[in-house]
Amino acid sequence: MSQWLPIEEIAEKVRSGELKAVDLVNMALKTIEDKNEYNAIISTTKDRALQRAQQIDSGEKKGRLVGVPFIAKDNFLAFGAETTAGSNMLKGFVAPYQATAIEKLEAEGAICVAKANLDAFAHGSSTENSDFGVTHNPYDKTRVAGGSSGGSAAAVVLDMAPFALGSDTGGSIRLPASFCGCVGYKPTYGLVSRSGVVAMASSLDVIGPLARTVEDTALILDVLAGRDELDSTTIDRDPESYTILAPAKNLKIGVIKEYMGEGLDDGVKNQIEVSIAKLRNSGAEIIEISLPSLPLSLAVYYIICPAEVSSNLSRYDGVRYGHTDKSAKTVEENYIKSRGQGFGAENKRRIIIGTHVLSSGYYDAYYKTAQTVRTKLINEFNEAFKTVDFLIGPVTPNTAFEIGSHHNEPMLDYLTDIMTVAANLVGIPAISLPIGSVNGLPVGLQLMGKQHSDRQLLALAKQTEELSK
């Protein structure tokens, strides 16, 4: 049982005076301290959080999230707080401004209590690439929490806060949610502003909530969604609230053929099939859908993502902020050394691959080809959504793996994302729902909808969540 009430109830009780924001913040901070051994948190924002809580308790108790503590992945800038992105490159960097997401949550009275661990610059599927140590899985400390938002997922499951923020470029919200056993939501590309979040691959990056229930997830999305003049890629939100979780009738759901075949763990497959059967029994029409280019999505991703990463990471030059090499004599030597010292192995791998696929003579063969196959993939999804309302399948082929088991095998780590990257390439919303466990380890179910179907997708997720109780 969680120590946290549903988010809406917490806010109600703070408004009525039954609960004090200061007590809620202290409850979160105590849990963070008690469960320090999991290494889900890089730093707390204790002083700032308590100050905000006191202001709330002694003043006007306004806002839909008033007094509700939350944890942000450490690639979100929170004013005055250290923001490392899990990298030595940004160790000691104090955010001089604030992410729009945090700004919106705070405007509704929520309180950021801590910054969660992640793979450095969100490059990874396990948080093993964090320069601040690996996050341990709440169900088995010898296993990973998933990544890159592993700290956020573990923090929610360890009950440190009612919800957390994550970012998802190729599965970084859904994968750890699946490994740790919480809800992880990747919105339609552009629905939530990324201003003030450390950029990874800009045509793929989205940010979203991780929480214990679909209801909590929908409430947070409702606060976050919408256009932001500070992020010109943002799109119009649904005019209706994302918290309307009314189940739809006569739904047609497609089981993704390519995700249910070879390579999928039998235990995971069984759990997914049980969920599908429950949906069928509840009246949904279930059909098998094939997306023939889906097996290519990871190859497309591992060209486009490093290409954009190499471009985005070029801003870390050791001059304006971040790690700098003190010994360098010339400006160029300073760039080279600062970057060599500040970035970790996985960051460097992606910079080199990205530089290669964008370099003269290789651009067409790699980058342009990947972008064109991306179009093919988008067309296939669009076709599929003419036949079905939603797609269903696993989040990952396996449950959480053992810490260290992918050591020095970057391809093994990349393959963890094989079922999640497509939603980023296509820009569609996708959710990971905890539906059960195999050998004591959580299993996630993935639901995907067409672009802008976030509200309907969350309604289906709510229905699925109730069926799996």
Partner 1 sequence: MAQLTRDDIIRLASLARLDLSDEEITHFSVELSKILDYVEQLQGVDVTGLEPTSQVTGLLNVQRDDEIKSYGYDPIVLLENVPEVEDNQIKVRRVL
Mapped onto helix, strand or coil, the DSSP state of residue 307 is helix
Q: Which residues sit opposite 208 in a β-bridge?
A: 166
- 282 is a catalytic site residue: no
Amino acid identity for residue 221 in this structure: L
Binding residues among 203-242 for partner 1 as defined by CB under 8 A: 203, 229, 232-233, 235
- 73 is a catalytic site residue: yes
Of 13, 61, 257, 349, the one binding partner 1 (CB under 8 A) is 349
Q: Which residues sit opposite 254 in a β-bridge?
A: 287, 391
**Structural contact between residues 114 and 32, judged by C-beta atoms closer than 8 angstroms:** yes
Of 47, 58, 62, 97, the one binding partner 1 (CB under 8 A) is 97
**Tokens at 222, concatenated:** 């409702």
Catalytic residue chosen out of the listed positions 73, 115, 186, 462: 73
**Structural contact between residues 433 and 174, judged by C-beta atoms closer than 8 angstroms:** no
Distance from C-alpha of 347 to C-alpha of 339, rounded to nearest angstrom: 10
Of 88, 355, 437, 468, the one binding partner 1 (CB under 8 A) is 355
Q: Does 132 bind partner 1 (CB under 8 A)?
A: no
CA atoms within 13 A on the CB side of 354: 20
Least distance from partner 1 to the Cβ atom of residue 422, Å? 12
Mark residues 398-437: x for contact with partner 1 by CB under 8 A, - for none: ----------x-xx--x-----------xx----------
Q: Does 305 bind partner 1 (CB under 8 A)?
A: no
Least distance from partner 1 to the Cβ atom of residue 290, Å? 16
Q: Does 468 bind partner 1 (CB under 8 A)?
A: no
Of 141, 252, 331, 382, the one binding partner 1 (CB under 8 A) is 331
Q: Does 312 bind partner 1 (CB under 8 A)?
A: no
Longest Cα separation, the chain: 71
Output Rg (C-alpha) for the chain, integer angstroms.
Answer: 21
Pairing of strands 163-168, 69-73: parallel
- 148 is a catalytic site residue: yes
- Of 130, 217, 206, nearest to 167 by C-alpha is 206
**Structural contact between residues 120 and 147, judged by C-beta atoms closer than 8 angstroms:** no
- Of 167, 164, 119, 123, nearest to 145 by C-alpha is 119
Least distance from partner 1 to the Cβ atom of residue 339, Å? 5
Of 270, 372, 382, 387, the one binding partner 1 (CB under 8 A) is 372
Mark residues 273-302: x for contact with partner 1 by CB under 8 A, - for none: --------------------x--x-xxx-x
Of 303, 391, 395, 421, the one binding partner 1 (CB under 8 A) is 303
Of 70, 132, 335, 390, the one binding partner 1 (CB under 8 A) is 335
Of 107, 244, 246, 319, the one binding partner 1 (CB under 8 A) is 319
**β-sheet with 111-116: strand ranges across:** 41-44, 111-116, 69-73, 163-168, 206-211, 183-186, 430-438, 441-449, 390-394, 252-256, 285-289
Q: Does 348 bind partner 1 (CB under 8 A)?
A: yes
Catalytic residue chosen out of the listed positions 126, 172, 195, 310: 172
Q: Does 315 bind partner 1 (CB under 8 A)?
A: no
Question: Phi, psi at residue 163, to the nearest 5°?
Answer: -155, 165
Of 368, 383, 407, 466, the one binding partner 1 (CB under 8 A) is 368
Q: Single out the segment in contact with partner 1 by CB under 8 A; choices: 25-33, 40-48, 242-250, 332-340.
A: 332-340
Catalytic residue chosen out of the listed positions 125, 126, 148, 432: 148
Q: What torsion, rounded to 10 degrees, do the Cα atoms 155, 160, 161, 166 define?
A: -20
Residues in contact with partner 1, counted by CB under 8 A, come to a total of 70
Distance from C-alpha of 235 to C-alpha of 228, rounded to nearest angstrom: 8
Helix (H) or strand (E) holding 133: none
Residues within the interface to partner 1 (CB under 8 A): 93-94, 96-97, 189-190, 203, 229, 232-233, 235, 293, 296, 298-300, 302-303, 310, 314, 317-322, 324, 328-337, 339-341, 343, 345, 348-349, 351-353, 355-356, 359, 365-366, 368-376, 378-379, 408, 410-411, 414, 426-427, 451
Q: Catalytic residue numbers?
A: 73, 148, 172
